Amino acid sequence: MTELLNSTADATTASRIDADWWRQATVYQIYPRSFADANGDGIGDLPGIASRADYLARLGIDAVWLSPFYPSALADGGYDVADYRNVDPRLGTLDDFDAMLEALHAKGIKLIVDIVPNHSSDLHEWFQAALAAPKGSSERDRYVFRDGLGEKGELPPADWKSMFGGPAWTAVGDGQWYLHLFAPEQPDFNWHNEEVRADFLKTLRFWSDRGVDGFRVDVAHALAKDLPENLPSLAELDAMDRATGTHPLWDRDEVHDIYAGWRAVFNEYDPPRIAVAEAWVDPPSRRARYASAEGLGQAFNFDLLEADFDADAFREIIVDNLDQAAASGSSTTWVFSNHDVVRHATRYGLPPNGDRPRHYNRTWLLSGGTEPQVDVAAGLSRARAATMLMLALPGSAYLYQGEELGLGEVAEIPDLARQDPTFYRSPGFDVGRDGCRVPIPWSEAGDSFGFGPADAHLPQPQWFGSLSVEAQSGDPASTLNLYREALALRRRLQTDESLTWVPSDPEVLHLRRPNGWEAVTNFGPAAVPLPAGEVLLASGPIDGTGLPPATTVWLRA
């Protein structure tokens, strides 16, 4: 009996520990079309990912977050989903998905898939049915249709702009228009519709039953909309306060009713499926609602991603986010790069950006990367230092494929080769996000630097060869080996416990974890004395006497 009790207690403890795996995880984002191409059609695929499971295990990550791999016309890089419970035939089959998941799980790597609930593709069977059905039909009720203005509805119902530029309402030819906060190929769902709600629960169960460990929720703050009969103008909409939970489009309080339903589904599984919200909300304190245990459980904070390489800015962000996570009972997230922003090795090689948000700011790319000139060496040193600081923080760290190679943004993509809708919808203002989505280099030479046996779907620059996995694997000082060593150490040293700040020079951040793990980053222009302690790892060369500029060192006191 005692034995039985003990074993039950052990099982309960094990399950509880496992349920918390996400809190301090290192999650590696794969943009599937640009990771590895197994069948040589120039597009990365699921068998390609499975074939790199060893690489991912050796890197030392805990989980993969897979950007959309569903059938899609790629009007927005896969964030226009035509079928939520299938695989894009160009990327593989459901069997390939299962094989990939098995290959990752066999290495102890969890899988988080991207779920896109704000909008579908215009090719989704429901939207096609809505187009074929008349005004007022139940088919149209699954999306946001409105009558146009003017005598025959020939004018849009409102002058709203989409997030990618251009109008947010598109006419369907019978006097009605539909809402798309993003591209016209991405009609917004009507989340007041019960069928929409039920269908997403079905999708969450579909992937959970297949064994996925969690979900990244796209535009999580936009699902609940409340559009009055008389739509406000764009100017009125922009003037409305987003902090009250009552804005017609963004971050409405009742969005959390939806996520409470999702949480009930996640908790049907053991361990419960996890979720992380992509929610751009302001003030940041509103993030806690998404990160609550009754909701999605965790939310991205993009604050570091928007900050300059600056000690004060970093410290303030770290303190704020740790406070917020403590208040919500969640753990915080950290991220410098993803498929939407200029890679951080390049951002940090550009002049400081001040208060302007960076996430959609790619003005530098408009000159093909020549104006201003990027300081590649400085950018890489700062990126390495910043990453090592991030990896020493409590919370989960989200990495983006290729950052472990120190890859920079690719500026030199010919206009004709560009794919991102932002490029086509904001001519002359924004070249879009293709520069961080170029297929990553695995080998020094060859058709697509080892990405696959054919040319890649976005052109790779010549300088990719020297940054390839092959070129870096044997070099102990390479960025790849820095990531490997840092992630291995983090595995051993990371805990749930918070940090304290050790008094330091104003240009230096010096933090200490309760187990004696310390990280010291020099943000200033000159070397500073190296604090005492055993050096575990450094982001750049140190000679033992000083900590050079743009360098982080990990110490054990």
Q: Which residues are catalytic?
A: 218, 268
The closest alpha carbon to 555, from 406, 395, 404, 388, belongs to 388
**DSSP state letters, 455-469:** --SSPPPGGGGGGSH
CA 305 – CA 365 distance, rounded (Å) = 18
**Could you give the 3-state DSSP secondary structure of residue 526?**
coil
Distance of closest approach, residue 429 Cβ to ligand NOJ, in angstroms: 17
Stretch that binds Ca ion, among 21-29, 40-48, 215-223, 473-481 (CB under 5 A): 40-48
Q: Which of 182, 200, 207, 215 binds ligand NOJ (CB under 6 A)?
A: 182
251 binds, among ligand NOJ, Ca ion, none (CB under 5 to 8 A by kind): none
| 147 vs 363: CA distance, rounded Å | 37
Return the number of the residue (93 or 170) whose C-beta is nearest Ca ion.
Answer: 93
Query: Residues of 324-349 as b/e, b for ≥16 C-beta within 10 angstroms?
Result: bbeebebbbbbbbbbbbbbbbbbbbb
* Smallest gap from residue 118 Cβ to ligand NOJ (A): 7
Minimum Å distance from CB 341 to ligand NOJ?
A: 9
Strands 169-171 and 176-179: antiparallel
**Residues 265-324 interacting with ligand NOJ (rule: CB under 6 A):** 278
Amino acid at 478: S
Name which of ligand NOJ, Ca ion, none residue 320 binds, using a CB cut-off of 5 to 8 Å depending on partner kind: none
Cα separations in angstroms, 177 against 129, 170, 360, 505: 15, 5, 27, 59
Query: Binding string to ligand NOJ for residues 109 to 148, with x set by CB under 6 A, is what?
Result: -------x--------------------------------
We find the least distance from the C-beta atom of residue 53 to Ca ion, in angstroms, to be 17
Cis ω before 271 (30° cut-off from 0): yes
Residues 266 and 204: beta-carbon distance below 8 Å: yes
Residue 218 or 404: the one with the smaller Cβ distance to ligand NOJ is 218
SS (H, E, C) 39-75: CCCCCCCHHHHHHCHHHHHHHCCCEEEECCCCCCCCC
Which one among 19, 20, 21, 39 touches Ca ion, defined by CB under 5 A? 39
Cα–Cα distances (Å) from 272 to 196, 261, 275, 532, in that order, read: 23, 14, 10, 43
**Least separation in angstroms between CB 302 and ligand NOJ:** 11
Where in 188-227 is the site for ligand NOJ (CB under 6 A)? 218-219
Structure-derived torsion over alpha carbons of residues 404, 406, 412, 418, reported in degrees to the nearest 10: 20
Nearer to ligand NOJ, 302 or 449 (CB): 302
Q: Are 359 and 305 in contact (CB under 8 A)?
A: yes
Tell the smallest beta-carbon distance from residue 443 to Ca ion (Å): 17
Q: 381 in helix, strand or coil? A: helix
For ligand NOJ, which is the closer residue by CB, 31 or 266?
Answer: 31
DSSP track, 62-127? SEEEEPP-SS---TTTT-S-S-TTS--TTT--HHHHHHHHHHHHHTT-EEEEEE--SB--TTSHHH
Could you tell me how many residues of this chain bind ligand NOJ (CB under 6 A)?
A: 9
For residues 73-102, which are near ligand NOJ according to CB under 6 A? 76, 79
How many degrees, rounded to 5, is the angle at CA 284 between CA 278 and CA 290? 45
41 contact choice in Ca ion, ligand NOJ, none (CB below 5 to 8 Å, kind-dependent): Ca ion
Name the segment binding Ca ion (CB under 5 A); options: 38-46, 221-229, 234-242, 261-269: 38-46
Taking CB under 5 A as the binding criterion, the range among 37-45, 169-177, 231-239, 376-384 that sits at the site for Ca ion is 37-45
Q: From the list ligand NOJ, Ca ion, none, which binds 39 (C-beta under 5 to 8 Å, kind-based)? A: Ca ion
**Positions in 329-368 near ligand NOJ (CB under 6 A):** 339-340
Q: Which is nearer to ligand NOJ, 114 or 518 (CB)?
A: 114
In angstroms, rounded to a whole number, what is the distance separating the alpha carbons of residues 377 and 186? 39
Question: Looking at 25, 43, 53, 220, which residue binds Ca ion (CB under 5 A)?
Answer: 43
- Which two three-digit tokens encode residue 208? 């959970």
Contact of residue 76 among Ca ion, ligand NOJ, none (CB under 5-8 Å per partner type): ligand NOJ
CB atoms within 10 A of CB 192: 15
Q: Are 458 and 419 in contact (CB under 8 A)?
A: yes
List the structure tokens of 106: 């066999």
* Minimal distance, residue 433 CB to ligand NOJ, in Å: 7
Burial class (CB in 10 A: 0-12, 13-18, 19+), 9: exposed
- Binding partner of 56, given ligand NOJ, Ca ion, none, CB within 5-8 angstroms per partner class: none
Applying CB under 5 A, the span of 33-41, 252-260, 279-287, 303-311 interacting with Ca ion comes to: 33-41
We find the least distance from the C-beta atom of residue 278 to ligand NOJ, in angstroms, to be: 6
The footprint of Ca ion on this chain (CB under 5 A) covers a number of residues equal to: 5
Triad 339, 119, 325: Cα angle to 5°: 60
The binder of 336, among ligand NOJ, Ca ion, none, by C-beta within 5 to 8 A per type, is: none
CB of 116 to ligand NOJ, least distance (A): 6
Between residues 39 and 481, which has the closer beta carbon with respect to Ca ion? 39
Q: Does 185 bind ligand NOJ (CB under 6 A)?
A: no
Name which of Ca ion, ligand NOJ, none residue 43 binds, using a CB cut-off of 5 to 8 Å depending on partner kind.
Answer: Ca ion
Residue 188 interacting partner from Ca ion, ligand NOJ, none (CB closer than 5 to 8 Å by kind): none
- Residues that bind ligand NOJ in the complex, under the rule CB under 6 A: 76, 79, 116, 182, 218-219, 278, 339-340
- Residues that bind Ca ion in the complex, under the rule CB under 5 A: 37, 39, 41, 43, 45
